[in-house]
Amino acid sequence: MTAQLWCFGESGNAYKAALTMELAGYDWSPVYVDFFNGASRTPEFRALNEMGEIPVFREGDLTLTQSAVIQLHIAEKTGRFQGSDRNEVLRWIMFDNHKLSAQVGTARFLMNFVPHDKRPQSVIDYLLGRLKPVYKTLESHLEGRDWVADNAPTIADFACCSYLYYPEPFGFDRAEWPNIDRWLEAISALPGWKHPYDLMPGNPSDRAVKEDT
C-alpha cells in the first residue's frame, strides 16, 4: 500500500517526513497542498488535521501528523535510522522542533514569502538573533562527530537538517559553520537523497511564473 504525504516543497517540516521515507525506501507518494493559496486553512484540511499543519501522513486507516511522529513511525516500521538510543535521537528532534525549525521556518517565511511591504523587520531581526546560538549549539555538537545522535544517520539528522538546504536567504550561511556544512554534505551524499524542491511538489519558481503570467 502506498502511503500518502500531504506536503509542499517549501515546507521543511514536510521534508523531514519525506526525506525519512525516501531514504528508507518507503513506498510513498506526495499529495500537494497549495499552502500559499490557503489550502491548509480550509475546513477540508482541518478535517484531515485539526492542527492545520503540514505534513499529514496517511496509510490505509492510519493518519499521523507532526513530522516527528511520522519519522518515528517510518523508522520503527522499517528498522532504519532509529539509532541506538531513542532518548538521544528524540532529544535532538525536540531541539530541532522547538528551537531550530520553528524559528528558521518563521524567519525564512517572513523574509521570502511575505510581500516586501509587509515584512516585519523587527521580528525578523529578533528571530535571526535567537537563531545564532542555536546554530552554535549544533556546530559545537558536530565537532568531531559525523552524525547528530549516533555514529550513523538517524531521523534526528533528517529533522535538524530540514530547513538548511533551502536556497532562499534566512540568515544562515553554511560557510560560517564548517561542522554543519560538512554534516549537510554527508547527508546529501546518502544514497537516494533529494533536495526538498526535487522531493516534493511546488517551489518558489512555480509561483514566480504564475504571478508573472
Best CA proximity match to 195, nearest among 3, 32, 22: 22
Minimum CB separation from a copy of itself for residue 86, in Å?
8
Applying CB under 8 A, among 16, 73, 80, 108 the residue interacting with a copy of itself is 73
Residue 74 binds to a copy of itself (criterion: CB under 8 A):
no
Q: How many residues at the interface with a copy of itself, by CB under 8 A?
A: 30
Which CB sits closer to a copy of itself, 5 or 72? 72
Amino acid 87 reads N
Residue 9: how many CB atoms within 10 A of its CB?
Answer: 23
CA–CA distance from 18 to each of 11, 122, 180 (Å)? 10, 33, 21
Residues 152-181 that bind a copy of itself (CB under 8 A): none
Q: Mask of contacts with a copy of itself, 93-112, x by CB under 8 A?
A: -xx-xxx-xx----------
Among 25, 34, 52, 182, binds a copy of itself (CB under 8 A): 52
Tell me if 72 contacts a copy of itself by CB under 8 A: yes
Dihedral, CA of residue 103, residue 138, residue 140 and residue 89, to nearest 10 = 140
Cell output for 12: 521543511
Beta strands in 113-188 (DSSP E): none
Asked whether the bond before 55 is cis by omega within 30 degrees of 0, the reply is yes
Q: Give the binding site for a copy of itself (CB under 8 A).
A: 50-53, 64-69, 72-73, 87, 90-91, 94-95, 97-99, 101-102, 120, 122-123, 126, 133, 137, 140-141
